[in-house]
């Protein structure tokens, strides 16, 4: 039998150095259990962040469209497609905003086009619902623009 000497000068049999296989397996099992418990919370957090990002992108696009219509004194059109929000003036594209494709966006009126008029009004007033899940079954945030061009962002009751 071989022996080792510890820092304190004690003699330790070499078979007691390190961890046993059973101890390592127990640690791995504990880590796996903790990861299993934490995974749903991480997924919910990621969904919420995607939802928030999409809603904030739509708000930014609307505010920029309103500002452009007031500065240019021309009608500015905001069109939402599957993964894009586009600002146009008289057929010329001013800017594109990328929208997360995994977060569905639905409109209240069915129209995905909002026109910010030169007289600081909006036609039509619209509400866009940003869903929490890929099926669009849970609403997380609502972006609304009224006829006066005021843009608001609110959370719905069923949070992601």
- C-alpha dist (Å) from residue 158 to 46, 51, 138, 153: 16, 12, 7, 15
Residue 25 lies inside a defined structural domain of this protein:
no
53 within some domain? yes
Q: How many domains does the chain have?
A: 1
pTM, 2 dp = 0.72
pLDDT tens digits, residue range 19-33? 889 999 999 999 999
Its domain, for residue 108, covers 43-159
Query: Is residue 32 in a domain?
Result: no
Helix then strand then coil, in percent of the chain rounded to 5, is: 35, 30, 35
* Residue pLDDT, tens place only, 109-121: 656 889 999 898 9
User: Residues 6 or more apart from 135 whose CB is under 8 A from it?
Assistant: 104
């Amino acid at each position: 039998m071989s022996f080792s000497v510890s820092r304190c000068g004690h003699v330790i049999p070499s078979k007691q150095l390190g961890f046993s296989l059973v101890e390592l397996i127990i640690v791995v099992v504990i880590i796996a259990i903790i990861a299993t418990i934490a995974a749903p919370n991480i997924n919910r957090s990621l969904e919420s962040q995607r939802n928030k990002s999409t809603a904030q992108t739509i708000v930014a696009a609307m505010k920029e469209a309103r500002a452009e219509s007031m500065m240019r004194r021309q009608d500015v059109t905001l069109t939402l497609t599957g993964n894009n929000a586009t600002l146009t003036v008289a057929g010329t594209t001013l800017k594109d905003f990328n929208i997360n494709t995994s977060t569905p966006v639905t409109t209240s009126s069915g129209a995905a086009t909002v026109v910010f008029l030169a007289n600081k009004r909006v036609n039509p007033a619209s509400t866009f619902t940003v869903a929490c899940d890929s099926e669009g079954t849970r609403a997380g945030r609502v972006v609304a623009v009224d006829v006066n061009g005021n843009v608001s962002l609110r959370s719905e009751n069923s949070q992601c």
